[in-house]
Amino acid sequence: MKNILVPTDFSACAGYAIDLGFAFAEFFDATLHLFACIDLPDDWNELSDEEKNKLPDKKQLIENVNVLLKEWKERADREGIKLQTIISGGKFLKELQNQVTENKTDFVVMGSHGVSGKQEYFIGSNTQKAIRKLHVPVFVIKNPLKEYSFKNIVFASNFDEKEKEPFQKFLKFIKWFTPETIHLLSINTSGWFAQPSLLMKEAMKDFKELCEGYNCKTHFYRDLSVDVGIRHFSEEVNADLIVVSNQNRSPLKRIFAGSNIEALVNHSEAPVLSLDFGDVQVEL
């Protein structure tokens, strides 16, 4: 992991994400890219100084953001963290995608407020949209972490053959955090498209065999919906991290069933790691 990107709106949960980004940057000796997207004209960077001076309120906005970023720059200097701060205007998601590409980002850490009701279905949070569009792992956090180790991890999946590659990459990534237990979790919603329990249990055995060296347990859990089941089970085992593969996406499935990962991110109080490695190479 060489480049870690943390978007910030300077909210409390964004601060938790920055704290985690600092911890990851120190652990992996990576560069931390702190990104703020603010209300600027889309062509701000192409404007001349004279044109920018005609927009004094925008210049003041940048100065205010730089003051807020100064705290993190000073912390990076004290802790010996390689930090790059980025301010841009335009549409948040588009600018975020550009930064991921330009900085060859390996990993994104985001704070999430969570949304509910009509806002959840018709608007969606920036974090939801990022998970939908970015093709790198995205770590979502709502609450401050007492420690940056993940000993009790839930990996939720449908455990089909396509999930094996992201699962193996997950194992390579998570080894750095020396987890004590990995729970392989399948949710049975008793819906029309639910797989028979016998077939699912057999599929989970194949994944368990890949967990050599880990204390790995399999669970077939029944609940009303996938995201509710993942949250209920994670609370029961006191998981400190939930991992879900987002590698093999189906727009059709999202239209009819919604995105389980996006719903999980909205409602889970535990951190959620959405895996989509894209072209990211996870080294042994």
C-alpha–C-alpha distance, residues 65 and 71, integer Å: 11
Q: Take residue 248 and report the two structure tokens written for it.
A: 């093999």
Alpha carbon 91 to its chain's center: 19
Q: Count H helices, E strands: the chain?
A: 11, 10
Contacts 24+ apart (CB under 8 A), 199-208: 200/159, 203/159, 203/160, 204/159, 206/159, 206/164, 207/157, 207/159, 207/163, 207/164, 207/167, 208/184
The third-level CATH classification (topology) of the domain covering 152-273 is Rossmann fold (3.40.50)
State pLDDT tens for residues 170-206: 898 888 888 899 999 988 876 544 556 777 778 889 9
Q: What is the pLDDT of residues 113-147, one digit of tens each?
A: 754 443 443 334 778 888 888 889 999 998 888 88
Inter-axis angle of helices 260-267 and 126-133, to 10 degrees?
150
- Is residue 209 within a helix (H) or strand (E), and if so which, with residue range? helix 197-209
pLDDT at 214 > cutoff 80: yes
Domain segments of the chain: what residues?
A: 3-141, 152-273
**Which pLDDT band holds residue 277 (cuts at 50, 70, 90)?**
low
Residues whose CB falls within 8 Å of the CB of residue 205, separated by 6 or more in sequence, listed in order: 218
| Predicted pLDDT of residue 226 | 85
Q: At 45, is the secondary structure helix, strand, or coil?
A: helix
In the predicted structure, residue 279 carries a pLDDT above the cut 90: no
Q: Which helix (H) or strand (E) holds 37?
A: strand 31-37
Q: How far apart are CA 158 and CA 174, in angstroms?
A: 20
CATH architecture of 3-141: 3-Layer(aba) Sandwich (3.40)
- Same topology for domains 3-141 and 152-273, yes or no? yes
